[in-house]
């Protein structure tokens, strides 16, 4: 590459690709599964794998039979948002035979890279400068944002959220159709997730900050939007419809929170019957503790974890230097937006969160305000620091007094940062050296000894972003690395007569059906596990019980001894079986036989044949749910809640074909419609972009 000024975004993009490749090398241990996925990252990996495996076999998994003895899968589908058309790429590669773990990891990494590219484009729109956009991109890439691929779901929210803000700014600048469709598509992705409330909070604080700082500009933008709506009425109505349609899965999930699900840990002691509601959060329980974050940002890397926040020193030095420079309206906007998010993230440490929890409904539906640190504070601090860096890097005044003032203010900022580093323990000497080099780089720009558009500046800057980040991230890899590569086996969705679920002495589950959760609270774990790990029981006797039955000791004794009596919730005496001469123990089915054989199975249904000499009662130890239906020889019959938690059906004597099927026609129809809507929206956006390129 020549030493001419870099004016092309293409050249900047090459720098971005190189930096991204270096990032991948730094996190090689995690990417290649020498370090295990942590916390929510593993849960999301598992549920996306379940979803992709089901689709690759031609089944949309509405029911999750491998999780907590079975429950509706929509809760997990909402968490990672099954409506995102990009998951079809995962299905395609898995279908052609590639192993899921590496395909999933590549998908996550590229999804994160798309988010960083959106961040670059957003910064470019804001600052009108490729170099500043590259600075923001680099700082974000080597911040702790990317570490959340291996620890949480944050990237699945960050990427569409960043895309939304990019398209929003682009549409505000030039009201083009493709910008509107892009913003709407990203908004649809965000609103149809399990918890869209982090985004909604960040967006509302953005609106408040923008209105306060840029009231006159806000009014002009509104007029601009209204003019577009008047000119494009049909497109505007379609966009409103798309946004409303994307809200329906979340609304249905909110309504389902009052039915069959139980989220004991999340719901806590909330008096509301909706299990999705959470208790009012405290600063010590998931809140943002800023002193701890700041103190540990540049120290104690020997014990660094994926929960730590890291922002490159370059941004922090520019941040401190900017304090001593003249602040502009844009700086006030960034500061106000950051403060608003931080005040909410403090939970009950200030009156802000308690007020919002009491008066704004969706604050009752999410917790873990610490996630605002990654989704809100981290990217905003980088944009704020980049905005302050503009005054130093692109200083263009010939006034000697102003130049001297800029040098002094930058020097004060540098020494303030150095003083901050010396006030904390165990700071690596490499950070001090890099900080001095960053200071010299900034001073060179002020003195015009180094031009920001030249490749040498971008190279030096990139090195000063990468080298300090190696210390925390290499320690991070060492702290999580295992002696052997982690093996995540493929999910087997075929039927097995025995499940293997590890249950601790104290049963606590994040989500399950309410009946299973009730059993967790009253049945000895080892007894429940030993019983429920067998999937099929055949009984000769039934005892009819009422919905309020709470003789758990009788249920526990029956489970412990595998007694030949099933407790069946029914008022119909035809479901009563009495066979005094029958064996003392129920028949536990462990393999196919003439009497009982499973002939077809998927997450959504099971079909088996029976050939009993007399009437029997069959219990399938998968959670009871009202949307399951039973069919005997094609005729619908009743599925009965059995042993308080499971599905049961009365099988006639002789040869029969029995199917148990999870059926929710409304949900299935809605899913099909929404899939078509999401795919068509993405397709229309691509069409608009291609037409724009063709016209150009």
DSSP label of 428: -
The larger pLDDT score, comparing residue 238 to residue 295, is at 238
Report the b/e string of 611-639 with b at 16+ CB within 10 A: ebeeebbbbbbbbbbebbebbbeeeeeeb
Q: 413-468, pLDDT tens digit by residue?
A: 888 888 888 888 777 788 889 999 999 999 998 888 888 888 888 899 999 999 99
* Residue in 288, 286, 280 with CA at minimum distance from that of residue 343: 288
Q: Looking at the predicted structure, is the pLDDT value of residue 4 above 70?
A: no
Q: Which residue has the tokens 């999340």?
A: 266
CA distance 77 to 67: 13
Average pLDDT, the chain: 87
Sign of CA dihedral 478, 480, 484, 487: negative
The two tokens of residue 344 are 């909410």
Residue 265, pLDDT score: 58
- Strands 566-569, 542-545: pairing is parallel
Residue 455, pLDDT score: 84
Q: 525-541, pLDDT tens digit by residue?
A: 889 888 999 999 999 99
Residue 3, pLDDT score: 43
In this structure, the answer to whether residues 457 and 543 fall within a common structural domain is no
Q: Which residues pair with 650 in a beta bridge?
A: 617
CA distance 166 to 169: 5
In this structure, the answer to whether residues 633 and 690 fall within a common structural domain is no
pLDDT band at 291 (very low <50, low <70, confident <90, very high): low
Q: Looking at the predicted structure, is the pLDDT value of residue 297 above 50?
A: yes
Q: Looking at the predicted structure, is the pLDDT value of residue 258 above 80?
A: no
Q: Are 385 and 139 in contact (CB under 8 A)?
A: yes
In this structure, the answer to whether residues 529 and 416 fall within a common structural domain is no
DSSP label of 296: T
Q: Give the phi and the psi of residue 542 in degrees, each rounded to 5.
A: -130, 145
Q: Looking at the predicted structure, is the pLDDT value of residue 6 above 50?
A: no
In this structure, the answer to whether residues 15 and 58 fall within a common structural domain is yes
Domain count, the chain: 2
Residue 659, pLDDT score: 96
Residue 489 lies in a domain: no
Q: Are 369 and 288 in contact (CB under 8 A)?
A: yes
Residue 267 lies in a domain: no
Sign of CA dihedral 100, 102, 103, 104: positive
CA distance 229 to 171: 12
Angle (CA) 362-366-368 rounded to 5° is 145
**Average pLDDT over every residue of 271-278:** 64
Phi-psi region of 634 (alpha: psi -120 to 50; beta: other; left: phi over 0): left
In this structure, the answer to whether residues 155 and 81 fall within a common structural domain is yes
The two tokens of residue 375 are 């989704």
Q: Looking at the predicted structure, is the pLDDT value of residue 332 above 50?
A: yes
pLDDT band at 2 (very low <50, low <70, confident <90, very high): very low
The two tokens of residue 151 are 């620890």
Q: 349-377, pLDDT tens digit by residue?
A: 888 888 888 888 888 878 788 889 999 99
Q: Are 422 and 455 in contact (CB under 8 A)?
A: no
Residue 515, pLDDT score: 83
Least confident of 348-352, 395-399, 651-655: 395-399
Domain coverage including residue 382: 3-255+275-341+349-483+674-695
Q: Looking at the predicted structure, is the pLDDT value of residue 118 above 50?
A: yes
Least confident of 1-15, 199-213, 621-635, 648-662: 1-15
CA distance 612 to 607: 16
CA distance 619 to 257: 26
Residue 192 lies in a domain: yes
Secondary structure string (H, E, C) spanning 190-242: HHCCCCCHHHHHHHHHHHHHHHHHCHHHHHHHHHHHHHHHHHCHHHHHHHHHH
In this structure, the answer to whether residues 424 and 516 fall within a common structural domain is no
Q: Which residues pair with 620 in a beta bridge?
A: 536, 647
Residue 28, pLDDT score: 94
In this structure, the answer to whether residues 681 and 603 fall within a common structural domain is no
The two tokens of residue 672 are 């099909």
Least confident of 233-237, 296-300, 364-368: 296-300
In this structure, the answer to whether residues 290 and 319 fall within a common structural domain is yes
In this structure, the answer to whether residues 241 and 374 fall within a common structural domain is yes
* Residue in 680, 688, 522, 610 with CA at minimum distance from that of residue 188: 680
CA distance 137 to 605: 48
DSSP label of 86: T
Q: Which residues contact 155 (CB under 8 A, 6 or more apart)?
A: 108, 111, 112, 115, 145, 146, 148, 149
In this structure, the answer to whether residues 647 and 681 fall within a common structural domain is no
pLDDT band at 507 (very low <50, low <70, confident <90, very high): very low
**Average pLDDT over every residue of 145-159:** 94
CA distance 336 to 327: 13
Q: Which residues contact 150 (CB under 8 A, 6 or more apart)?
A: 27, 30, 35, 37, 38, 41, 306, 480
Residue 270, pLDDT score: 45
Residue 499 lies in a domain: no
The larger pLDDT score, comparing residue 247 to residue 260, is at 247
The two tokens of residue 556 are 């526990």
The larger pLDDT score, comparing residue 421 to residue 657, is at 657
Q: Looking at the predicted structure, is the pLDDT value of residue 267 above 60?
A: no
Q: Which residues pair with 610 in a beta bridge?
A: 596, 656
Residue 696, pLDDT score: 53
Q: Which residues contact 118 (CB under 8 A, 6 or more apart)?
A: 159, 162, 163, 165, 166
Residue 16, pLDDT score: 93
Other Cβ atoms within 10 Å of 292 Cβ, number:
11
Sign of CA dihedral 150, 151, 152, 158: negative
pLDDT band at 8 (very low <50, low <70, confident <90, very high): low
In this structure, the answer to whether residues 16 and 97 fall within a common structural domain is yes
Q: Looking at the predicted structure, is the pLDDT value of residue 256 above 70?
A: no
Is this prediction's pTM over 0.85? yes
No. of helices (H) and no. of strands (E), the chain: 26, 16
Residue 222, pLDDT score: 95
Q: Looking at the predicted structure, is the pLDDT value of residue 228 above 60?
A: yes
In this structure, the answer to whether residues 652 and 689 fall within a common structural domain is no
Q: Looking at the predicted structure, is the pLDDT value of residue 293 above 80?
A: no
- Strands 646-651, 640-642: pairing is antiparallel
Residue 464, pLDDT score: 94
* Residue in 200, 210, 154 with CA at minimum distance from that of residue 361: 200
- Strands 616-623, 536-539: pairing is antiparallel
Report the b/e string of 338-372 with b at 16+ CB within 10 A: bebbbbbbbbbbeebbeebbeeeeebbbbbbbbbb
- Strands 512-513, 605-612: pairing is unpaired
**Average pLDDT over every residue of 301-326:** 86
Q: Looking at the predicted structure, is the pLDDT value of residue 603 above 50?
A: yes
Residue 502 lies in a domain: no
Residue 693, pLDDT score: 65
Residue 304 lies in a domain: yes
Residue 497 lies in a domain: no
CA distance 395 to 442: 10
CA distance 138 to 159: 16
**Average pLDDT over every residue of 71-93:** 90
Residue 269 lies in a domain: no
pLDDT band at 694 (very low <50, low <70, confident <90, very high): low
- Strands 536-539, 587-588: pairing is antiparallel
């Amino acid at each position: 590459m020549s030493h001419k000024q870099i004016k092309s975004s293409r050249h900047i993009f090459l720098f971005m690709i190189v930096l991204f490749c270096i990032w991948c090398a730094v996190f090689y241990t995690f990417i290649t599964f020498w370090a295990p996925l942590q916390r929510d990252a593993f849960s999301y990996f598992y549920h996306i794998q379940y979803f992709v495996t089901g689709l690759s076999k031609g089944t949309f998994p509405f029911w999750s039979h491998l999780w907590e003895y079975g429950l509706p899968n929509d809760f997990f589908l909402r968490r990672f948002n099954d409506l995102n058309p990009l998951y079809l790429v995962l299905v395609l590669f898995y279908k052609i035979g590639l192993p899921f773990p590496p395909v999933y990891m590549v998908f996550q990494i590229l999804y994160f890279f798309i988010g960083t590219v959106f961040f670059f484009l957003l910064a470019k729109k804001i600052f009108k400068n490729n170099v500043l956009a590259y600075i923001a991109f680099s700082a974000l890439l080597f911040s702790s944002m990317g570490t959340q691929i291996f620890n949480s779901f944050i990237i699945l929210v960050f990427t569409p959220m960043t895309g939304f803000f990019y398209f929003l700014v682009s549409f505000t600048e030039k009201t083009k159709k493709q910008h509107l469709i892009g913003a709407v598509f990203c908004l649809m992705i965000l609103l149809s997730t399990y918890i869209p409330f982090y985004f909604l909070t960040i967006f509302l604080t953005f609106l408040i900050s923008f209105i306060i700082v840029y009231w006159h500009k806000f009014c002009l933008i509104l007029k601009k939007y209204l003019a577009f709506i008047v000119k494009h009425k049909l497109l505007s109505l379609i966009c409103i419809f798309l946004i409303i349609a994307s809200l329906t899965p979340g609304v249905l999930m909110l309504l389902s929170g009052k039915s069959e699900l139980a989220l004991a840990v999340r719901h806590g002691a909330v008096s509301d019957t909706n299990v999705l509601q959470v208790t009012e959060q405290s600063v010590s329980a998931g809140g943002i503790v800023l002193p701890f974050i700041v103190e540990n940002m540049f120290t104690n890397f020997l014990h660094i974890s994926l929960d730590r926040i890291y922002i490159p020193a370059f941004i922090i030095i520019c941040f401190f230097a900017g304090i001593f420079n003249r602040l502009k309206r844009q700086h006030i906007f960034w500061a106000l937006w950051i403060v608003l998010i931080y005040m909410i993230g403090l939970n009950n440490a200030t009156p802000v969160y308690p007020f919002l929890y009491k008066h704004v409904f969706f604050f009752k539906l999410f917790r873990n305000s610490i996630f605002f640190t990654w989704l809100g504070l981290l990217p905003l601090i980088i944009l704020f620091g980049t905005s302050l860096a503009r005054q130093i890097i692109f200083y263009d005044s010939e006034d000697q007094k102003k130049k001297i003032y800029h040098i002094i203010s930058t020097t004060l900022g540098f020494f303030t940062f150095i003083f901050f580093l010396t006030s904390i323990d165990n700071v690596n000497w490499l950070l001090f050296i890099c900080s001095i080099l960053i200071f010299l780089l900034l001073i060179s720009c002020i003195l015009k000894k180094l031009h920001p558009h030249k490749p040498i500046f971008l190279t030096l800057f990139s090195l000063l972003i990468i080298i300090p980040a190696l210390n925390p991230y290499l320690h991070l890899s060492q702290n999580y690395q295992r002696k052997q590569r982690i093996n995540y086996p493929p999910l087997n969705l075929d039927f097995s007569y025995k499940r293997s679920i590890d249950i601790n002495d104290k049963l606590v589950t994040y989500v399950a059906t309410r009946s299973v959760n009730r059993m967790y609270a009253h049945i000895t774990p080892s007894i429940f596990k030993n019983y429920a790990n067998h999937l099929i029981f055949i009984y000769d006797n039934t005892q009819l019980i009422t919905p309020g039955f709470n003789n758990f000791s009788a249920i526990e004794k029956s489970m412990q001894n595998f007694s030949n009596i099933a407790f069946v919730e029914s008022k119909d005496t035809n479901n009563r079986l009495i066979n005094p001469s029958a064996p003392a123990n129920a028949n536990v089915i462990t393999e196919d036989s003439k009497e009982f054989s499973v002939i077809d199975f998927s997450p959504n249904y099971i079909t088996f044949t029976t050939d009993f000499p007399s009437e029997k009662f069959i219990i399938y130890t998968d959670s009871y749910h009202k949307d399951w239906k039973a069919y005997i020889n094609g005729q619908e019959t009743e599925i009965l809640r059995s042993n308080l938690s499971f599905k049961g059906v009365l099988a006639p004597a002789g040869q029969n074909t029995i199917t148990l099927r999870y059926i929710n026609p409304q949900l299935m129809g809605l899913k099909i419609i929404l899939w078509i809507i999401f795919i068509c929206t993405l397709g229309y956006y691509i069409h608009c972009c291609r037409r724009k390129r063709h016209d150009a």
